[in-house]
Every structure is written in C-alpha cells, then in structure tokens.
C-alpha cells in the first residue's frame, strides 16, 4: 500500500511512463511505511533493465514541473550504497510498471 491518492498515483505513473518507460520503479520510505505526514515526499528508486545507471534529470524535472502536492525524490538503484539497498528491500511497493517484465522478474 502506498499513502497517496489514486489520482496522484496515476499522475506519478503517467510521468514515469513518459520519462522512464523501460524501468522498474519502487516506492519506499514514509509513504510506504504508513508514517507519512502531509508534507512527506514520495521516495522512488529506479531499476534499469540492464542494471546500468540511468539519466534521471528529465524525470526529476517533470516531477518538479508537475502539479503533485508533494516532492518526488528519484534514486537510481545502480548508484546507491549497498546498506541503503538493504533498507529499501525491507519495505517497498512496486508502482511501475503494474506488471513486471520477464527480464526484471528475477
């Protein structure tokens, strides 16, 4: 479960579809752990199909320019430290795509 409205989740997915169509994206942090407050951001981690670092600048800009009532923080799985990966793996929600492609299913 993710603590954002269905309308806002669809807007997030629309931006992801436009900017990162081939990536697998997880939400993590306070909006997944039911500890979000009104001003909490949405933390997302992006997995590329080939485990290479992705350019996230345009996606970040699209989120900044959106009408979402919260900040979206994008991180790249390929570039974050191992200890942080372990923290994310404890509690996350796949938000994009809604079906996981075979090459990312593990």
Token pair of 48 as six digits: 């590329």
Is 76 annotated as catalytic? no
Q: d(Cα 54, Cα 42) in Å, to the nearest integer?
A: 19
- Find, among 36, 44, 59, the residue nearest to 92 by Cα: 44
Is 51 annotated as catalytic? no
34: enclosing H helix or E strand: none
Q: One of 3, 41, 50, 65 is an active-site residue; which one?
A: 41
Q: One of 43, 50, 51, 76 is an active-site residue; which one?
A: 43
Just list the catalytic residues.
41, 43
């Amino acid at each position: 479960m993710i603590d954002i409205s269905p309308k806002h989740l669809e807007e997030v997915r629309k931006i992801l579809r436009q900017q990162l169509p081939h990536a697998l994206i997880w939400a993590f942090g306070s909006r997944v752990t039911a500890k979000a407050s009104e001003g909490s951001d949405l933390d997302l981690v992006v997995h590329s199909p080939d485990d290479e670092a992705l350019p996230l600048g345009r996606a970040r800009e699209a989120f900044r320019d959106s009408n979402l009532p919260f900040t979206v923080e994008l991180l790249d799985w390929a570039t974050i430290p191992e200890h942080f990966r372990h923290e994310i793996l404890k509690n996350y929600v796949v938000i994009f795509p809604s079906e996981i492609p075979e090459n990312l299913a593990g």
